[in-house]
Structure 1
Amino acid sequence: MTNQLSKNNYNAIDIAKFIAAFLVITIHCNPLTSLSEIFNNYFVNTVSRIAVPFFFACSGFFFFKKLEFRNGRIINCKENRKKLYKYVVRIFLLYAIWSVIYLMWQIPEWYLTGWLSVNAFIDYAISFILSGSYYHMWYILYLIFATVFGYFILSFFKKSIVIIIATILYILGMLSYSYFWIDFLPCDIIVIISNKLGALWGAATRAFPLMIMGYYVGTAKHKPSAKLSLLLFSISFILLSAEYYALNTFTSNHESFSYIIFTIPCQCFLFNFILSIKSGKTSAKFFYLRNTSTVIYCLHPMIINLLKLIPHFSDSNSMLQYISVAIISLVLSLIIVKLSKKKVFKFLKYLY
């Protein structure tokens, strides 16, 4: 893959990430409920659930491809460690800043419910480390842990071994998440371990395998053509839909569908298809999309909270709620990214 081709392909990834940010909003807004609860559940648990795994794949591709490898392993040199440190610090600052923002929202809620106390802050601090400071911030926490974990795994093992390790971990993750209902003693033990390890378990069994998949798909020398990738993605998505239906209909799992068997082939072929799209030279507008998608992801729960303060808004049409959240999140995100380019508002860059 030439550098120019890579630059061209990044434009398509930026567009896909931008779209994925709005799919994440659908998970938290359930926009089709007013039309059909069954169809809403299908859309949210299949189409929308592609978004966050796609984010992990992108992160793995962009980070690991910057590192120097030798004989299939990351060279644990000063330059690579510097890149790891810089990336993790940047992501941690993003996580910490947004966590403080959501803490400011939590404090009035704690006061109104009588929960404002030292224990409330201790619980928040524990969640900050073990599960995610707010309900959507788990993604960034997982990303931090998975990046460090992936760096050291790729330092000790060759790529072929890492693929096997990632596959095993993903299977263990499914047994503790989407396939927790299997009545088998080892599965029960895995669920107990996952509950104890919290974000460390999620990072190792969900984020890490998808990051590795994104890196390998993005840097593979031999890849399926764009048409074949699209066809294979379509087939995988049909199978993903069937898997969702089976889990939702015949098991006790009615809500955990983000990481199931056909999530991996769907992401694999989708990511390869998007990488194969040649979309012209890189321009500033695509960087705006990339940065805006991050702000939208981090910001939209706050918009949901604020709109709930409007009398009767929660009783309005679900699609209207979604459109309102999406538009306000988009406008504010564009303003934040735009202002961050000015010297006086440069600090806003830490929001993405």
Structure 2
Amino acid sequence: MKPNYSGLDWLKFAAAILVVANHTGPLQSFSPYADFLLSGVLTRVAVPVFFMSSGFFLFRKLTGDSAADLAALHRYAAKAGKLYVIAIALYIPLNLYTGYFITDFSVYSMIKDLVFDGTLYHLWYLPALLIGIYLTFFLYKRMSMKGMLAAAGILYAIGMLGGSYYGIIEGHQGFVQIYDGMFTLFDYTRNGLFYAPVYIALGAWAAKQPNKEGSGAVQAGLFAASLGMMFAEGILLHAADIPRHEGMYMFALPASYYLFRWALHWRGRSGKGFREWRVWIYILHPYAIVLVRGASEAVHLDHLFIQKSMLHFAAVCLLSIVMAAAAVKLEQTPRIIGQARKHY
């Protein structure tokens, strides 16, 4: 019987909406602190879900045959790389509009963005995925599953000290110099070297250790407890002004993992088109933000769709979903035409 992963489809759709929330601040006009709890803490489980899903679906295909496993890795990377190239091309007009190619632009800055930071603020995910899957695959082939997780966890800990826990090292000049050196290569440690591998490894663990899953109720309870600890962690770090960037929490690891495990128990309907929506929602939502803001100002409704943060978020979500559905339909058009021609 073919496994039913519709729960993961719905989880990734919800994660895509959380990414939109992270970039629009839905609660900002009501309470900046409430918006921090949503955009600065809760949304931090979204991207880990994407990385874990990638690890889960890639590593469940690996059989132990070195050549076949490497070929599977390359095929997966080729698909992600193609999407990254398309995304870069899509955002060239917006890059031109924002002055990307003028302000502090150089060959070095472009290479840095292509490899680590992304050519727009959300596109860092795709190079992180590419680096992360190769690094995790390397660890997987040379270590036990627990060793792979431990190594990826150490990388994550290094990343946390450059992100949410940066204030801890600020008084230690040697560490500061090391991290300052890193920040000449990339803007954040939330990248394919330090951030992505541990979540991809957790996805691989979920794929290779299915008997350790437990019941849905247990996973839901563990998720709730971990999420509570993540909120406490985020609140304490924020109050102490420790983070350089609020993106890498310690308790995001168990919270994201148990959420992912819980979603494996969800049942429902989903299709390939819906499955691909979340990809395009993620890719296209910055355009939706620009279009909503521009249209609102043009028709003098900025007091509603810009200043009212929840309405702004809702409008961006709706437009992102419409654009995603259109992109999926456009993507499917050549296949539909090809299938129709077979009947003539």
TM-score normalised per structure 2: 0.87
Identity of aligned residues (%): 26
Distance in 2, Cα, partners of 1:123 & 1:346: 42
Write the deviation string for residues 121-149 of structure 1: whole angstroms up to 9, x where unpaired: 77445422232111000011100111111
Greater RCO (Cα-Cα under 8 Å, separation 6 or more): 1
Write the deviation string for residues 307-328 of structure 1: whole angstroms up to 9, x where unpaired: 2323253743111111111101
Distance in 2, Cα, partners of 1:36 & 1:122: 40
Cα drift, residue 68 of structure 1: 1.6
Counterpart of 2:44 in 1: which secondary structure?
helix
Which stretch of the first structure deviates more once superposed, 119-128 or 171-180? 119-128
Matched, 1:94 2:79: no
Match of 2:273 in 1: 288
Cα distance change on mapping 1:165 and 1:189 into 2, 3 Å = farther
Counterpart of 2:182 in 1: which secondary structure?
helix
Cα distance change on mapping 1:199 and 1:213 into 2, 3 Å = farther
Cα distance change on mapping 1:58 and 1:168 into 2, 3 Å = same
Match of 2:160 in 1: 174
AA paired with 2:24?
Answer: C
Cα drift, residue 200 of structure 1: 10
Distance in 2, Cα, partners of 1:130 & 1:245: 28
Match of 2:119 in 1: 133
Distance in 1, Cα, partners of 2:32 & 2:335: 47
CA contact (8 A) 1:175 1:187 kept: no
Distance in 1, Cα, partners of 2:238 & 2:188: 27
Distance in 2, Cα, partners of 1:124 & 1:197: 11
Distance in 1, Cα, partners of 2:337 & 2:139: 36
Match of 1:249 in 2: 239
Distance in 1, Cα, partners of 2:71 & 2:249: 35
Structure 1, unmatched stretches of 5+, are 70-74, 348-352
Matched, 1:338 2:298: no
AA paired with 1:236?
Answer: S
Cα distance change on mapping 1:236 and 1:346 into 2, 3 Å = farther
Which stretch of the first structure deviates more once superposed, 195-204 or 53-62? 195-204
The structure 2 residue matched to 1:329, chosen from 312, 317, 320, is 320
Counterpart of 2:11 in 1: which secondary structure?
helix
Counterpart of 2:91 in 1: which secondary structure?
helix
Which stretch of the first structure deviates more once superposed, 216-225 or 82-91? 216-225
Cα drift, residue 213 of structure 1: 0.8
| Root mean square deviation, CA, Å | 2.6
Counterpart of 1:341 in 2: which secondary structure?
helix
Which stretch of the first structure deviates more once superposed, 311-320 or 91-100? 311-320
In the alignment of these two chains, the number of paired residues is 328
Structure 2, unmatched stretches of 5+, are 339-344
CA contact (8 A) 1:176 1:190 kept: no
